[in-house]
Structure 1
Amino acid sequence: MTDPLDRIAAALERLSPPLPAPADPLAHPAYVWLDGTLIAARAFAPLPLAMLYGIDRQKTALLANLRRHAAGHAAQDALLWGARGTGKSALVKSAVAAVQAEDDDIALVETTALDRLPVLFATLAAVPRAFVLFVDDLGFDNAGDARMLRSMLEGGAEPRPANIRLLVTANRRHLQPRDIAEQESAINPRDAVDDHLALADRFGLSLGFHALDQDGYLAIVAGYAAAHGLAFDPADAIEWATRRGSRSGRVAWQYVVELAGRAGRSL
């Protein structure tokens, strides 16, 4: 090997730690699908559902769907969409943990590799357990990727395994960006619109998450603060959110972390 780039690549490969052995798909509550290998999540400890405030309707709908799936009944793929920091990802993990606590056999598998989904489907299809594949913060700039996913969800030649459902979070309701020019340039403008909406339509359960008003934000801060024995000043909490330029569950939690730090406490 005389090429310096080849030598560098070989040295880096030797230094890279090998992937762990594939995890037992029946043994763990949560996994990560990484480079074609199912790896047990190192720490799966979501917030209790009761700590997620202001999204009771979304909790009820997602829990009911997950319970059906865990029981082997018909269940929907779910799209959780809306404003950033409003609890979409937290609800996915907390709802799965809540169903697991009811002694239902269901596991979470987080993945970002959409092109490897067929391999993951094949890996889990024969496992006697319900799985939810969690794709966080999904968005597309490439129409080909969107078409690939919607074919896998519904419409492809090979059906998706019955023991697998997808839970996807996204900031956009329809997943793909839309441009007003698409209606001007298309021969049939409705065709362009339908193409963008076709992926979102594959999700039988669509749950919207919306920006909080001030009272909702303060209620979340109060709930977190009470759970950790911290006092707070509403005016200070509002100032924190104003500086952040957002009122959300995420900003409320960050404020509570700040309160704990000021008090010399850990969370």
Structure 2
Amino acid sequence: MPESLSETVEKINWDKTLAAVWSGRKQRLRGVRALDPIDMHELLGIDEQKRRFNLNIQAFLNGLPANHVLLWGARGTGKSSLIKAALNAYGDQGLRVVELEKDDIHDLPEISAQLRELPWKFILYCDDLSFEAGDKRYRYLKVLMEGSIELPPENILMMATSNRRHLIPEKQQDNQSVKAAVNGELHYGDSIEEGLSLADRFGLSLSFYAPAQDLYLQMIDALFDDYCGDRSELHRLAIRFASLRGGRSGRVAKQFKIDFQAQQV
């Protein structure tokens, strides 16, 4: 007989384990041994996002009301890295992270039921979250964040990253269903209401955009702080690399450093 969910969760020693990954196929949590060591100060060009994110985390850790968080926007701009950096910054204050895949979102009620009585503060984290039209699994998010007949757990925050602001795609025919009533008041169609309803559950929604070229070059300079060669040539190569990659981002800056170093061997 397969192990019960409660038995598998209890195997995680949260005193020593800061993060775990949920396996939907095996219905169990797996402790993460090798964490990404990224630090908050390494995330450049998102100072306002970091400020608001950290204030929310600090309120959560202090037992104050805190918002569920949606980090949305351009790829490679630091959305996932911000959550990883938070774990490194606040792990010694009792913060823990459980990551799950979008395909396992239906397991949220079972996971949260097992975590809600534990003394740590948990972020349930889903990367690259979005739902196609007709996918009703988003309802599990609503239950976690706002509860049902049972109040939502006070020691769990939902955090998701996405390229979509509203998580559910909008179609032209959806917008055509918007109607204006008396005094210009708008009445949205069911599809738009559905998308807005889900996004509204995330009380803190932070947007991320591709950096301007000067900010991208600041990222390059930070990554090459000990570089003694021609920095203007380095910048030229970095700009060319970003152009070939289709855009600028913190991720592209790191990829350029790896590529540059490989060519120096």
Global fold match (TM > 0.5): yes
Match of 2:259 in 1: 258
Note the residue ranges of structure 1 that are not aligned, 5 or more in a row. Answer: 1-18
Gap regions ≥5 residues in structure 2? 1-7, 180-186
Q: Which residue of 2 aligns with 1:221?
A: 220
Tell which deviates more after alignment, 177-186 or 31-40.
177-186
CA distance in 2, matches of 1:24, 1:144: 34
Aligned counterpart in structure 2 of residue 165 of structure 1, from 157, 162, 186: 157
Give the alignment's TM-score, normalised by structure 1.
0.84
Q: Distance in 2 between matches of 1:149 and 1:76?
A: 14
Give the partner amino acid of 1:201.
D
Kindly indicate whether residue 200 of structure 2 is the aligned counterpart of residue 201 of structure 1. Answer: yes
Aligned counterparts, 1:230-241, within 5 A = 231=229, 233-241=234-242
Task: Give the total of aligned pairs.
Answer: 243
User: Secondary structure at the residue paired with 2:98?
Assistant: strand
Question: Offset of 1:165 from its aligned partner?
Answer: 0.5
What is the match of residue 43 of structure 2?
52
Normalised by the length of structure 2, the TM-score is 0.85
Q: CA RMSD in A?
A: 2.1
Call closer, same or farther: CA 1:183–1:45 in 2, change over 3 Å.
closer
**8 A contact 1:22–1:37 mirrored in 2:** no
- How far apart are 1:21 and its partner, in Å? 8.3
**CA–CA distance in 2 between the matches of 1:117 and 1:34?**
12
Q: CA deviation at 1:230?
A: 7.0
Distance 1:20 1:72, change over 3 A: closer
Q: What are the residue-to-residue correspondences of 1:108-187 with 2, within 5 Å?
A: 108-112=97-101, 113-141=104-132, 142-184=134-176
Separation in 1, partners of 2:178, 2:213: 43
Q: Counterpart amino acid of 2:14?
A: P
2:183 matched to which residue of 1?
none
| Residue range with higher mean Cα deviation, 49-58 or 151-160 | 151-160
Q: Shift of the alpha carbon at 1:224? A: 1.2
Q: Which sits farther off after the overlay, 184-193 or 162-171?
A: 184-193
Residue 69 of structure 1: aligned partner = 60
Deviation at 1:220, TM superposition (A): 0.9
| CA distance in 1: counterparts of 2:59 and 2:188, whole angstroms | 39
Preserved contact between residue 230 and residue 260 of structure 1 (Cα < 8 Å): no
* Identity within the alignment, %: 37
